[in-house]
Amino acid sequence: MVMTAEKTETLAAEIRKLAAGKNALILAHNYQRAEVQAVADYTGDSLELARIAADNPAEIIVFCGVHFMAESAAILSPEKKVLIPDPTAGCPMADMAIEDDLIAMRGRYPDAMVVTYINSSAGVKALSDVCCTSANAVKIVQRVEARRVIFVPDRNLGRWVQRFTDREIIQWKGYCPTHERFSAEDLAEAKRLHPDALVMVHPECRPEVIDMADEVFSTGQMVKFVQETDRTKIIVGTEEGMLHKLRSAAPGKDYILASKALVCPNMKKTTLEKVYAALANEEPVVSVSSGMREKALGCLRRMLELSG
Ligand code: CIZ
Ligand code: SF4
């Protein structure tokens, strides 16, 4: 359903009122729809948002993002009610790592440490040694106390990290379908149309795309970069929602999406109507069983220690 601007504003105002009345905090990932980002108290990457959820006194967290992100918030704040507006908003990359396969992989490489990208289920985190994000993956792999690392689940991020370390990385075969669809041809065309633009891409992109970029950044690093750079025309090689985030963080610049393929269908499942319904009904709730939570929390804590 397409909403008029007026209807969008009315619904956003109702959501704000409801959230205030319930002492609820609305968090939106950088890849969410513009109107969902606009209604949120905070926008950010998955780790930033999970930390905000843990530090904030709100009793209810409405997490506008995909399932593993809401789960990470639930792991860091077990006393809070974490709501996800659309429970079917999953991450196909996270689904590419399942617990049994990781147990088997550990069996094959008993000397290796398992470094797991935050884009993974709580169950997979619980079986891992240390977590990482796209912002700190290089640092974490460089600092683990093992010569060999099993890197789960993103082979593109894993291959990017391998460029900076002499640790041997055993790559899992996962990938983000959205970043994978973004081809070198797409980027060549964007560069042809905008020869004066700087190119920044996410490390979930294919290696040949990464080779064509000026900068390779996590979403948080992209925000910092555009706030500091003098460059005013930037080709952005990550999910489309990021353009909204960049425009609000550093307005007055020209941001160009590198490819029409860069739209994550799961990220777009969250609409204002669903945010409203989740707040009104206080469901669906995302929770993690206490045994699994303890172990997954250990994996996240080791990341914070190693990256600090
Ligand atoms: O960790 C995140 O939020 C993701 C998925 C991307 C990024 O680079 O921030
Ligand atoms: Fe998962 Fe890719 Fe969508 Fe992020 S953009 S939620 S990694 S499928």
Specify the pLDDT at position 248: 97
The one-character DSSP state at 116 is: E
Specify the pLDDT at position 1: 61
* Ligand 1 pocket mutation, candidates 118, 125, 218, criterion most atoms within 8 A of CB: 218
CB of 119 closer than 6 angstroms to any ligand 1 atom: yes
CATH class of 178-257: alpha beta
- Helix, strand, coil percentages for the chain (3-state, nearest 5): 45, 15, 35
User: In angstroms, what is the span from residue 253 Cα to ligand 1's centroid?
Assistant: 22
For the chain, residues with pLDDT lower than 70 are 1
Domain with CATH 3.40.50.10800 in the chain: 5-89+267-288, 93-175+291-307, 178-257
CATH code: domain 5-89+267-288 is 3.40.50.10800
User: In angstroms, what is the span from residue 282 Cα to ligand 2's centroid?
Assistant: 25
Q: Which amino acid is at 7?
A: K
Q: How far apart are CA 176 and CA 156, in angstroms?
A: 9
Q: How far apart are CA 91 and CA 117, in angstroms?
A: 12
SS3 label, residue 197: coil
The topology under which CATH files domain 93-175+291-307 is Rossmann fold (3.40.50)
The one-character DSSP state at 3 is: P
Specify the pLDDT at position 3: 81
What DSSP assignment string belongs to 213-253?
Answer: -SEE--HHHHHHHHHH----EEEEES-TTHHHHHHHHSTTS
Token pair in block for residue 250: 């550093």
Which residues' Cβ are closer than 6 Å to ligand 2?
Answer: 31, 66, 91-93, 119, 176-179, 239, 264, 266-267
